[in-house]
Structure 1
Amino acid sequence: MEVSYSEFEVLLEERKKLESIIRIIERVHSLKSLKDVYSAIIDSAAELENVDMVMIYLVDEERKEAVLEAWKNVPEDYLRRASRIPYPRGVTWKVINSGEVLNIPDAQKDPDIGPAGRDLGHHGLLGIPVFLDGKVIGVIWFLSYKEREFSEDEVRFLSILGTQVAIAISKTKMIEDLREYARMLESTREQLIQAEKMASLGRLTSGIAHEINNPLTPVLGYCELLLSRGDLDEERRRKYIEFIYGCAQRIDRIVKGLLSYSRGSKLLEVEPVDVNSVVERVLGFREYQLNLADIEVIRDLGSGLPLVMANPTQLEQAFLNIVLNAEHALGLKDEGRRLVVRTGVRDGGVVEVSFSDNGPGMSKEVVDKVFEPFFTTKSGGEGNGLGLFIVYEVIRRHGGRVRVESEEGRGATFVVELPCVEGGVSTGKGNKEGEIKEKVKQRGRVLVVEDEELIGDMIREVLEGEGYFVFVAQNGRVALKRLEEEVFDLIICDVKMPCMDGNKLYREVKDRYGVSEDRFIFITGDIESLSSEISRDRVLKKPFTVEELRSKVNSSFYRLIKK
């Protein structure tokens, strides 16, 4: 079969159009951006012999305007005058309102053409409506300087381009809706997790008052005895003070446990953490409830464990949720309730913590779902199934794993695995941060800025006993005035104070004297109140022990001397 030259040219043109359509469809389905799709459509149309200019207008429903979103070969003057066409002017709105193709042989002679379009000179004009869900959302204009109507084949081909624009916009809208839905789900999930944490805190509240009042009662009693009885011998006085100190440490553990529940769910700053210390704090926090429920707690804590990089409050939260789960399970057992907590280290640098109860256990179906959000075996009102999901999320964010081993009638064991810090080893009594082995021989001048008189006096007593010169200022303004008169090597500063807080004082001293944060120690019970520009390793957390204070100050001076 022979093909004439003219027929061959037609076939080549059709093939060219088909290839253009394929390219556009590929762009639409890859959909990197709407701009990318517009570019493909405009470039394909501009390749046609009779198309000299392309414009894509889309409707802005809020402003009632047709907005020029993409174009090719359009003069600057037109862009300046007609990039936004208000309703209901010109041929653009004529196409939008009618939803019909508009094929104009000479735009100069059309009465509906606007001034900017008329100044383009004599030209043929084809308007293709863009439909989405049965509604016209825009127009694609194709301009030819040949002053003629576009042929049926051209209209058919260019209409396909309009359809592809609609598909691209539809896909973009769908993707944006899905992203918004995903953001909404994530926000709802975070709110539910926080609600579960606060619900757990509510369930703990009944025991909290008892826990704090128990150690507080002997503190008050022994203090009264020390104040009222001058005939006490030294041994008995020391014994009373040791009792008071032990009770204060117990209250400290309770407060820290409560703080771990007041934080949000995001992962905060991590630091080297002794897992045994975290376990002890959690068990101490639940000591009263565990005793009340007649649950025997057996500790089998490994010594010399490697440290793990973790956020201690979040790790406490995860362990606490596992203990609460065990308490609930053991509540279904009549007698002989037992919880065994073990810590150890496995090959490969992994610290393992297990919580084993001898409760009723779980079926395989329950085990498979136990970490899923909203899954619960508790009766209505007792929980919403987020406690163990929180455990899973916290451990996952720390780069660890958590699993459960259980059979019906044979109890349950929750195993947490956490990667350890290379070279870091705990003492078995909790990691003493900032401890320094080399004794600091050079004593310096310390400015203490603390509005609580008792705390300021205590710091002065301790540091003067170490040989430092100490001046105590009651607020930031007094401290700045003192700094105008004297030079200090180290500033120990409370964060929350009247007149001028610690964050503002640091910025003032830094701006005036060029002092770095190495010369500051910030004391606070709420690390969230510290400015983000200040390193967390410059913090001494309230409440702190005398040894922690000495260690922090001595190590700070040692670092300054080395510099």
Structure 2
Amino acid sequence: MTENGKNHSLEASLEAGEDLFRQVTESIDEIFILAKPRLERVLYVSPSYERVWGDSCDALYASPQSRLEAVYTDDRLRIMAYLERKVPQKYEIEYRVQQQEGDVRWVRERGFPIAEETGQINRIAIIISDITEEKQLREEAEVRLQQIVQADRLAALGEVIAGVAHEINNPNSFITYNIPLLEETWRIFKPIIDAHAKIHAGQKVAYTDFNELMEDMEEIIKAIKIGSERINRVVSNLKDFARLDESTHNRPVDVNDVIEKTMTIVGAQLRRCAEDITVSLSNPLPSILGQAQKLEQVVANLLVNSARALPAKSGGRITVATRYLERLSAVVVEIEDNGRGMPANILGRIFEPFFTTRRAAGGTGLGLSVSYGLVREHQGTIGVMSRPKMGTRFTVYLPTGTGTSLNLHPTILCVDDNEMVLGMVRSMLIKVEDEFVETTARPEQVVEFLESHPEVDIVLSDVSMPGLNGWDLLEKIKQRFPLIAVILYSGLPDDLESPDNCYFQPDAVLHKPFEKFELVQILSSIGRQRL
């Protein structure tokens, strides 16, 4: 065979192999991507990509990073952490993709590095499977089981509380009905005793004169009346809390009233676990439309969860606060503790039905899952931010209007006076929504910004800016928001040395110029708020 014949035969074999490869990849439902490491360039993508992503293959060829724009913010950093590794490794990850029409798809992505004969990895093969139906079936089965268990649990709780309420109400009714008689009897006897005391001045009973006895008696009758009324109020709140309200009619709800009623129910349990309990209710708050009993159940679950997270009563702190955020048209309830905190792998699963880290202690894994569902019934959402050994903060957002839609995502606030640096950070993070803080701003103004933007979980700041020092900013942020991560960066190594008078330390430091890989690794290790 001539040399030309051999070349022609080789070309034919290559063409046949390529045709077979395309037939296989274009006939299967899975997406197949062949790319350079770190997804620097896409060499091939199968047509199934367009069905799942809702975007064209040509768009991916033109911009390999474009596929990350459709990935949920919560999931994006995890994918980037795999793709940005200096030495690519085999991986498997599940995440959500939001198509341009708004549909959400669950996918499972597996990556396989391909090495040359020299051992150098020059390509990566990615296989992506659409697992939306699998996820939906699993979630529907879990929800049905959850509903059965929860309904049975609430029914049993209702029976127990009804019995307890009956046993408490009987003796308390006797006290309540006889208090007016006791008051009337005292009004009759008081003048008689008073006259006797004037005639027998100086006479004492059990080393106490008559005037002191009369004052003590009035205080005792008043204390009995207040105690009886409190018993009635607690029993009423318990019955309301345990009642399974099947009504679908929403009514105006005062969230502050929900907090106060819930505190009467779980307050004693919290005081056994926490040394310091602070309740800060913003007043007045606009009402929301909903069902008070369901929201009381949510707040009770979150408070009890915080109490259980405290390793010891000494030094244990639980803070409950409410406020209204006008920019979101939502009432916000924040419950924060300084307990054990949770690592990222636990945080990502806490709202799953039956997931619990307290199985041995009798935990069912339903409390937070049920709370999440009840908040969603009110068109709201729950955010949770946690740092191991530092604590956890639950944030409940409840819209005040029926047409309000809350579309919140974990947010990074970048504070810098250099637009080039901001542009560099913007290019590293997909879909950055810019929030500009003036370079003349004081640290207090940045803290005020964080007050009105509870979705911010990381602050990325330069150290040296005109009128604003990164270390001063770190102090102010950590004093008010100990769970917010602060990353400081500078081009001058000396600037990243902690000042002697600085009590707090940054969660990470970066030396400018830094690479995308470094930032992604830090963000992945810190973990993000669950929203």
Scaled to the shorter chain, the TM-score interval is 0.3 to 0.5
Q: Which has the higher contact order (CA 8 A, sep 6+)?
A: 2
* Bigger Rg, which one: 1
